[in-house]
Amino acid sequence: MAKQKNILDLYFLDARARLIDIAAFMDRVDRAGGGDDFRYDAFCAALKALDSGKPDRAGEVLLAFSDPTDEPIPAATTKAACGAWSGADNV
């Protein structure tokens, strides 16, 4: 129990602030007309992974944003990384 308290003492306020930032981000997206975008879809999938209660939530969150394909594409289709896989249309 002491170890858990130490972890909470060290990280709770930072995690709380990040969660408030996430809520504010989602509120802004909603006010702007919704999240009809592959990045927002990946973000929502990551939130579901976060809420899963599984022991490797960090890995599951990363996978929610990742390209699940095994074969590399012949050439990049965007100029910069965007943080989430846009789907099969880029394969």
C-alpha–C-alpha distance, residues 43 and 49, integer Å: 10
- pLDDT (tens digit, 9 = 90+) per residue, 8-49? 999 999 999 999 999 999 999 999 997 789 999 999 999 999
- pLDDT (tens digit, 9 = 90+) per residue, 64-81? 999 898 988 888 777 777
Query: Rounded mean pLDDT of 75-90?
Result: 74
Measure CA of the first residue to CA of the last residue in the chain; give whole Å: 48
C-alpha–C-alpha distance, residues 87 and 91, integer Å: 8
Question: What pLDDT was estimated at residue 58?
Answer: 95
Angle at 41 between CA 61 and CA 14, to 5 degrees: 45
> DSSP 3-state assignment of 87?
coil
